A and B are shown apart, each in its own frame.
Chain A
Amino acid sequence: MVQDLGYLKESPSQTAGPYVHIGCTPNFAGITGVYDTDLGSTMVNDKTLGERITMRGCVIDGAGVPLKDALVEIWQADAAGLYNSPSELRGTADPNFTGWGRCPTSADDGMFTFETIKPGRAPYKDGRKMAPHITVWIVARGINIGLHTRMYFADEAEANAEDPLLARIEHRHRVATLVAPREGSVYTFDIHLQGEKETVFLDI
């Protein structure tokens, strides 16, 4: 016999269900008076450094229909590439930028929208710089475990070409599923859950 390593098992995930808004964005669900505002609804203020951008898109199912009950969260570095997290040891992130946002998809058109800034570049483990990106996490009814992906920026072609994650995508035409086109200050990032245009999802 050998010793037991003694590790615990992670609590298994379950779907967030159709009423995730009650717990995560109660004001959006019409439950007012409990929390002042829905958490994650504002990421920037007047003093936030960096280029203001809008990130928007839909989460689309295998029949091509946008989900109207999904919840999208994003996590990103500040304009200097620093994360507003205790585990960030390279410096102090912009105190006027949370780095984290949360938005339910609209019950009308299924659209999510984040008012944020364009992130700077953070290093990969080996010191190479990753291209600017925003980490995206999606939960909804019918999704048993939250889906991780990343949005990259179409106007960062040079950085994208040397990004270690994008370089690992074997089927090169799928790289485009992570790169959001720009129009003015708006980046549109549609997430396809399955099928021909399926977004690359990550196990990280």
Chain B
Amino acid sequence: MSDLSNKKPETGAFFQRDRAWHAPALTPGYKTSVLRSPQKALLSLDGTMSEITGPVFGHSLLGELDNDLIHNFAKPGESAIGERIIVHGRVLDERGKPVPGALLEFWQANAGGRYRHKKESYLAAVDPNFGGCGRTITADDGSYRFRTIRPGAYPWPNGVNDWRPAHIHFSIFGHGFAQRLITQMYFEGDPMIWKCPIVTTIPDKSAIEQLIAPLDWANTIPMDARAYKFDIVLRGRRSTLFENRMEGN
């Protein structure tokens, strides 16, 4: 499964998750959470082998267009309609160390806010050249990039008139199963962010800001695509004093 380099793997347990930084399970403004949130306390346990290990995926998994949503579902010679953008950034851990070999999967609606999914009934049209899924694996410095079109906002049946801000979903595998994370990326300057009952499940404004990707003019390609930069932080590992040196530092 793995074709990682011969760097010494890390085996420390992960820092405890700050559950005051994340959304609580029960957030009634996001109605579906009411019947899908545990009511009893979580059982805490320092990481064991089952959590400090995790699957790692080799670059051989990837197809040539896996990180190009403009073309990976399009008919030959055609491309998806919408604002062409590049999303790039780095996957780091809480210690600021790059996380190489991290598998990122992303999915999103098309430029009109319509998902290609059989349960989706929004009247905005499906784009025949846009599927909406992609994936990539971080390089040695933790960096990743993909091309896509900027997704549209869409309405959803929560409040009478709730709309999701434009967003891209991310699923991330680090090196340990306890780092497993799914989150959403938002776009700088979108006034819808602060009205969204899903965004505001997160209690801390600065935590929300961590999910907002700024426009990255420096990496915008003239006459082609604008760029947005989105760094992702996964849990860090504790160092253990190993044969008189700090392992993992």
Q: How large is the interface on A (under 10, 10 to 19, 20 to 34, 35 or more residues)?
A: 35 or more
Contact A143 B49 (CB under 8 A): no
If A86-B2, A204-B45 touch, whether A11 touches B23 (CB-CB below 8 Å) is no
CA distance A149 to B155 in the complex (A): 33
With A30-B118, A133-B50 in contact, do A23 and B107 touch (Cβ < 8 Å)? yes
State in angstroms the CA–CA spacing of A88 and B72 once bound together: 35
Chain B residues contacting A130 (CB-CB under 8 Å) are: 48-50
A window 99-134: CB within 8 A of B: 99-100, 107, 122-125, 130, 133
Write the nearest CB–CB distance from B155 to chain A, whole angstroms.
14
Number of A-B residue pairs, CB cutoff 8 Å, is 284
B1 proximal to A (CB < 8 A): yes
Contact B234 A87 (CB under 8 A): no
* A63 near B43: Cβ-Cβ < 8 Å: no
Across the interface, which residues of B come within 8 angstroms of A125, CB to CB? 46, 48
Q: Is the interface of B mostly helix, strand, loop or mixed?
A: loop
Which of A11, A31, A122 lies in contact with B131, CB distance below 8 A?
A31
Contact across chains for B33 and A84 when beta carbons are under 8 A apart: no
How far is the CB of A55 from the nearest CB of chain B, in Å? 15
A62 within 8 A of B: yes
A184 within 8 A of B: no
**Would B37 and A193 count as touching, CB distance under 8 A?**
yes
* Chain A neighbourhood of B115, CB < 8 A: 19, 22
The answer to whether residues A14 and B133 also contact, given A85-B56, A124-B48 and a CB cut-off of 8 A, is: no
Q: What are 7 A-B interface contacts by the 8 Å CB criterion?
A: A11-B234, A12-B23, A15-B182, A67-B36, A75-B177, A122-B48, A144-B33
Q: Which residues of B contact A (CB under 8 A)?
A: 1-2, 4, 9-11, 15-19, 21-25, 27, 30, 32-40, 42-57, 61, 63, 65-66, 72-73, 92-96, 105-107, 115-120, 131-135, 169, 171, 175-178, 180-184, 198-199, 201-202, 204, 207-208, 210-211, 232-236
